[in-house]
Amino acid sequence: MSAAAEVPAAGSKRPADGDVDADGADGIVALASKAPRLSAADAANRVAQLPVGANLVEVDGKSCTHEVAWPPGAPAGSLLPPPPREGPPARVYPFKIDPFQQVAVNCLEAGHSVMVAAHTSAGKTVVAEYAFAMGLRDKTRVVYTSPLKALSNQKYRELAEEFVDVGLMTGDVTINPNASCLVMTTEILRSMLYRGSEVVREVQLIVYDEIHYLRDKERGVVWEESIILAPKQARFVFLSATIPNAREFAEWVAKTHGSPCHVVYTDYRPTPLQHYMFPAGADGLYMVVDERGVFRDDNFQKAIAVLQDGADGGGAGGKGKGGKGGEGGKGGAAPAGGADSAKSDIFKLVRMIMERNYDPVIVFSFSKRECEALASQMSPLELNSAEEKALVANIYWSALECLSQDDQKLPQIAAMLPMLQRGVGVHHSGLLPIVKEVVEILFQEGLLKVLFATETFSTGLNMPAKTVVFTNVKKYDGGVFRWITSGEYIQMSGRAGRRGLDDRGVVILMLDQRLEPPVAKEMVRGAPDTLYSAFHLGYNMLLGLMRVEGAEPEQLMAASFRQFQTERSLPALEARVAALEAARDAIEIGDEAAVR
């Protein structure tokens, strides 16, 4: 398939005021936006490190890794990469697509499943759009699934502008349910599969966005069920952030459905990131990871020293519920001045970001209560012009016309508009669905300069910002407070940097407690989280299986990703047992008879 001529990316880069070339506090280094071309030596080294059977594709300085998992017993073919389809492509883009996109498209045209693992904003959506175009060209049905209703709503709006005959099915809304191209949540797809819906029996392509949700403790099993129960003729497009064991997952899919599943992986990031720390009570930023991924230990130590100096200043902070809260929130040592000073840190930081034109900014917090509290501290800031305020009010009330007069008087509805008009927004699961959707629209239109959001905002929604701020580096996971994992950090920080608009993204971690260098390095430079199964038997599954003729729980368990991973781990476990037994047998006890 050939792409149309390349044109400049939409939007223009805006110079960032206040940038200085420094290594310490406030050091923001300007970047070149074009990725360097791989040298012959680098390319040879990359090839040497590839897994057996993998292929390195490199074009114009951008590269991707491609490998294929074949079903058991099938002769391993040589489709690396698959040949381009003869005839016109299903969709032509007004720009030159990246190598990983081209390889993934070739895999789809070959009639195979494909898993695309790439950073946020790398362009995975191009592959999903091509799948929809294929469905319309071949007059077959395509289903797009996502983990969130908000993501489904956004994807429906985007696809409805590009394609005809697009439908939406979520728990709240159903639009054109017999369309050729359907957007739905994964739970809706599972329910349709269990009841044997005619719609899903005709499906040829299923797109799973954010497939790494499969490891979610509560909902991950839904992804496994729907993949196992999908029609045998269906092929899959899995879109994911980078995961280290993508090949293992592809082998499970190939085994389950009896057809090849390709893995296309790229670590290319269109907009490089710079990572900073903002210690409690500090007046500047400390770059701890530059755009090349180099950890700057000297700047890290300076940031920790500032934090320690503030703690030694005799503030009234400390652990507890003060400031942003200890065990009840963010806690830790506070600078001189105590909790009030700690609370003002976010205001100081946001004001600094606005002065340097690093907006829009997403501020991630791990609780709905903290989102609301931090947003309320922005009341002195007026970030929108009079014209923008009028536009916000117009969009807000136009969207809320569907509500009754009584509902429009709800406290949440009344309190939200003044904050939105100032250019500040809040996004979390406690908001009414219509309010969340309005917030998303306003952010996309550039009418919100600062958005306080929980972790769910980082999942799939195509709403990048120039800057991302973490108000905390610890989160409560339902059992204990723990450091956020490198995978969680990668997912949320990936929202920084808008492709075609910013030459780099800025990520800022607010610190109010000491962080050891190994913990910090693992967090900001660690490997992505491994994809593992969260399969478990539940009442919904058992009730669903009762509706499927001849289906047994044992069959579903045997076909699960958990069982596949368990079986793969057995040889290693057996080898370890054998080694331990050999070590035991090799132990010699002197004068053993006397010991007995």
The pLDDT tens digits for 296-322 are 989 999 988 888 765 555 433 333 333
The whole-number pLDDT of residue 37 equals 44
Count H helices and E strands in the chain, helices first: 20, 19
Mean pLDDT of 248-258: 94
Each domain of the chain, given as residue ranges in start order, spans: 40-265, 273-367+454-525, 378-447, 539-585
Average pLDDT over residues 132-157: 90
Q: List C-alpha distances in Å: 86 to 110, 300, 379.
A: 11, 55, 60
What's the average model confidence in pLDDT over 431-454?
Answer: 90
Give bridge partners of residue 265 from the DSSP assignment.
Answer: 65, 117
Using CB atoms within 10 A of its CB, is residue 200 exposed (0-12), middle (13-18) or buried (19+)? buried
**Is 87 a residue whose pLDDT tops 70?**
yes
β partners of residue 275: 289, 507
The pLDDT of residue 411 is above 90:
no
More confident position, 270 or 7 = 270
pLDDT band at 338 (very low <50, low <70, confident <90, very high): very low
- Backbone φ and ψ for 67, nearest 5 degrees, come out as -145, 165
Does the domain formed by 40-265 have CATH 2.40.40.20? no
In this prediction, residue 24 carries a pLDDT of: 41
Question: What does CATH list as the number for 273-367+454-525?
Answer: 3.40.50.300
Distance CA 141, CA 234 (A): 10
pLDDT confidence tier of residue 470, bands split at 50, 70 and 90 = very high
Indicate if 273-367+454-525 has the same CATH topology as 40-265. yes
Q: What is the pLDDT of residues 502-544, one digit of tens each?
A: 888 999 999 888 778 888 888 888 788 889 999 988 888 888 8
For residues 299 and 312, what is the distance between their CA atoms, to the nearest angstrom? 20
Task: Give pLDDT, residue 76.
Answer: 60
Average pLDDT, whole number, for the chain?
81
Of 291, 345, 329, 279, nearest in space to 497 by CA: 291
Quote the CA–CA distance of 514 and 311 in Å, as a whole number: 10
Comparing 19 with 204, the larger pLDDT belongs to 204
Separation between Cα atoms, residue 572 and residue 193, nearest integer Å: 36
Question: Looking at the predicted structure, is the pLDDT value of residue 284 above 90?
Answer: no
Q: Of all residues in the chain, what percent carry a pLDDT higher than 90?
A: 39
| Stated pTM of the model | 0.76
Fill in the DSSP letter of residue 526: P
Radius of gyration of the chain (CA): 26
Top-confidence residue, 329 or 54: 54
Is residue 256 within 8 Å of 221, Cβ to Cβ? Answer: no
Q: At what angle do helices 220-229 and 186-194 cross, to 10 degrees?
A: 40
Longest dimension (CA), the chain: 95
The predicted structure's pLDDT at residue 120: 77
Whether pLDDT at 498 is above 50: yes
Could you tell me the pLDDT band of residue 58, with boundaries at 50, 70 and 90? low
Percentage of the residues of the chain whose pLDDT score is greater than 70 = 81
